[in-house]
Structure 1
Amino acid sequence: MKGPAKNKIIAMIPARYEASRFPGKLMQDLNGKTVITRTYEAAVRTGFFDEVYVVTDSQKIFDEIINAGGQVIRSKKEHECGSDRIAEAVEHMNVDIVVNVQGDEPFIDKNSLASLLEVFQQEGAEEIDLASLKTALKESDEITNPNNVKVITGKEDFALYFSRFPIPYPRDTSAKVTYYKHIGIYAFRKSALMDFYRLPMLPLEAAEKIECIRYLEYGKKIKMVETSVKSIGIDTPEDLEKARKLLS
């Protein structure tokens, strides 16, 4: 008698050249290699994926990954967000779980990624449409920073809402509340990702500019996995300097 079939798991790294806050950041030098090449190589090194791809609208990024010996897909359409870019790329692929690795986060934590993928092996996994990571915020300036997307969850760790605003609002300051930052690494079931691609944006997502809100607005279940590892995303030139120091 055969055991359960192994999920085919791939990593997709969406890579736009024209980032609004720091244009061209993925092609910046990070101690001898570009940010996007370091991210790609870090994803491959985890050993968790059957395939790793960069998916991009940029000829510069396409050529960079080819020259680095990697796998890259050129987007055919303009896309509002990374999920749409990935969905277009995987639409005709035979795959079960698609992991969205942010192109501007070259320091992938292997343990956090393992915990994320484990949820699809656990009891009750069939009700999970996608999974993502959260980490506790301690400093008030981190909590109030709109670049840090906050998430609140129910007792089973399914996401209730995401916001750039500090949620929950501390009306009762004596309540013991932990604020959590959403780390934008996702593991999707392909079916949930394709639903996202085909469904229009609704007002909450449009207002917050947070793509995972679309899943909640359409009733999808997002399992959040806590990690203590602080991700280092490269959103500004200052972030790039921090990353250079960390690598050296």
Structure 2
Amino acid sequence: MTETRILVLIPARMAATRLPGKPLLGIGGLPMIIHVLRRAEEARIGRVAVATDTPEIAAAVKAHGGEAVMTRPEHPSGSDRIYEALRTLDPDGKTEVVVNIQGDLPTIPPADIRAALALLDDPQVDIGTLAAEIRRDEEHTNPSVVKLIGSPVGGQRLRGLYFTRATAPYGDGPRYHHIGLYAYRRQALERFVKLPPSVLEQREKLEQLRALEAGMRIDAAIVNSVPLGVDTPDDLETARRILANS
């Protein structure tokens, strides 16, 4: 798959309640959204743009040499935001794959971005994502840690069967922390955003269950660690320490 057929989109907005204005908060002299932008560019898989409803975010991205696309403010999810951005940036439908990277993952390894994309080399896969084995005891029971339940299909790969906030699967063996980065085939993204919210999606508060309930296939690449998601002031300080030492 050629780079010209791949669009990497980073949804970013200012409305975080626990850490207001977080895309523009400084980490090592740069706004956080620029760190995410740089990780996406370093993956070298295709065109990269930030999708936002905030002029200040767009201005910061452009000031640092990046591309930004404005989207409507009322989108219910990042998936809806990137679909609008896709249609704006590629009205002729040439893009075949859209990679969605959350705007609060400043430490995401570029190799992990490439790993999610590589899952789409299998024509049976609609959506590629990431998972890492849970290593900390408290995360097995923490509902904020989303677990991916899947069947192994190769050495470092799972076919997703379910996503849950519960402690699952039961019994001995590894459990996997789902990492919310997605590589969508264009047709899969278009189908997904046109589907109504599903029963299990609304119960678990997990958007990806809508795709599974509709019969779409999600595979996950198993990676070594979970990238830091910046949601609180403590997370921000941790990100600053990590990137200061990188």
Determine if the TM-score, normalized by the shorter chain, exceeds 0.5.
yes
Structure 2 counterpart of 1:242: 238
CA contact (8 A) 2:43 2:111 kept: no
Is the counterpart of residue 127 in structure 1 residue 139 in structure 2?
no
Structure 1 counterpart of 2:30: 33
Structure 2 counterpart of 1:203: 199
TM-score by length of 1: 0.89
Residue identity opposite 2:63 in structure 1: N
Q: C-alpha root-mean-square deviation of aligned residues, in Å?
A: 1.5
CA contact (8 A) 1:26 1:34 kept: yes
Question: Aligned residues, how many?
Answer: 235
Runs of 4 or more consecutive aligned structure 1 residues displaced over 3 Å after TM superposition: none
SS in structure 1 at match of 2:94 = coil
TM-score by length of 2: 0.90
For structure 1, list consecutive stretches of 5 or more residues without a partner in the other structure: none
Is the counterpart of residue 148 in structure 1 residue 149 in structure 2?
no
Is the counterpart of residue 17 in structure 1 residue 10 in structure 2?
no
CA contact (8 A) 1:105 1:231 kept: yes
Structure 2 counterpart of 1:216: 212
Deviation at 1:244, TM superposition (A): 0.5
- In 1, Cα distance between the equivalents of 2:18 and 2:140? 20
Is the counterpart of residue 70 in structure 1 residue 71 in structure 2?
no
Is the counterpart of residue 165 in structure 1 residue 166 in structure 2?
yes
Deviation at 1:127, TM superposition (A): 1.0
Deviation at 1:95, TM superposition (A): 0.4
Identity %: 36
SS in structure 2 at match of 1:127 = coil
Match of 1:232 among 228, 231, 237: 228
Deviation at 1:218, TM superposition (A): 0.8
- In 2, Cα distance between the equivalents of 1:40 and 1:160? 31
Deviation at 1:67, TM superposition (A): 1.6
Deviation at 1:77, TM superposition (A): 5.1
Residue identity opposite 1:97 in structure 2: V
CA contact (8 A) 1:149 1:182 kept: yes
- In 2, Cα distance between the equivalents of 1:206 and 1:213? 9
Residue identity opposite 1:147 in structure 2: S
Match of 1:52 among 48, 55, 58: 48
